[in-house]
Structure 1
Amino acid sequence: MATAHPIKEKRSRTGNKARLGLPWNVVLHNDWNNSMPRVVVVLKRAIPGMTYKRAAAVMYEAHRNGRAVVKSCHKELAELYEERLLGKGLSASIEPA
């Protein structure tokens, strides 16, 4: 006697994921209101995974060139990081990568 096997629905993995769109850059702008060591500490605390070495490199680039890309990520995360930096008194913005 044959048993009936239930038919399993196939689910698309891509259908469950939100489309992220283009990456956005979080940009740090040079200012004269914050000391260099303070900028490094704020970057380290505000951006997950940011090392002191990378934070110092970003700070020096912003100091020399007037701006530096802190991180590239999807727009909502870029907005969060921009808000964190602005909240700590740094000058930051976001732009499409």
Structure 2
Amino acid sequence: MSATKIGKQREQRTGRKNSTEPPWNVLLHNDWDNSMPRVVLILKKVLPGMTIGRATRIMYEAHSSGRAVVKRCHKELAELYKERLQGEGLTISLEPAE
């Protein structure tokens, strides 16, 4: 079986692309327009698999340091999360992950 065929089968099974694209960080910035509980609920609502505990830690990091990494993923997905989170009223930016 060729490497290309194996790669395509893996993509079909996992739904993930095999890519060398560098990851991007979705950043949450502290703001005074959203309450802490509201930020936690939005993160849980928008991001698949986000738990209340993890959302709380992300919210608190943004609150105390000014920003926090919400998600690290490929650029297209990062842009989608940014759009959805901004649509809920959060202050979000993207940056290439190191």
- Check whether TM > 0.5: yes
Q: Equivalents in 1 of 2:64, 2:96: separation in Å?
A: 22
Q: Conserved in 2, the CA contact under 8 Å of 1:58 and 1:68?
A: yes
Provide the residue aligned with 2:5 in structure 1.
Answer: 13
Q: Which runs of 5+ in 2 are unaligned?
A: 9-16
Q: Conserved in 2, the CA contact under 8 Å of 1:23 and 1:96?
A: yes
Provide the residue aligned with 1:59 in structure 2.
Answer: 59
Structure 1 residue 12: Cα displacement: 1.9
Q: Equivalents in 2 of 1:15, 1:48: separation in Å?
A: 25
Query: TM-score, normalised to structure 2's length?
Result: 0.82
- Taking only the aligned residue pairs, the percentage that are identical comes to 63
Structure 1 residue 19: Cα displacement: 2.8
> Whose helix fraction is larger, Structure 1's or Structure 2's?
2
The alignment covers a number of residue pairs equal to: 89
Provide the residue aligned with 1:38 in structure 2.
Answer: 38
- Which 4+ stretches in 1 moved above 6 angstroms? none
**Aligned AA (1:79):** E
Q: Which of structures 1 and 2 has the bigger CA Rg?
A: 1
* Structure 1 vs Structure 2 CA RMSD: 1.8
For the residue of structure 2 that corresponds to 1:19, the secondary structure is coil
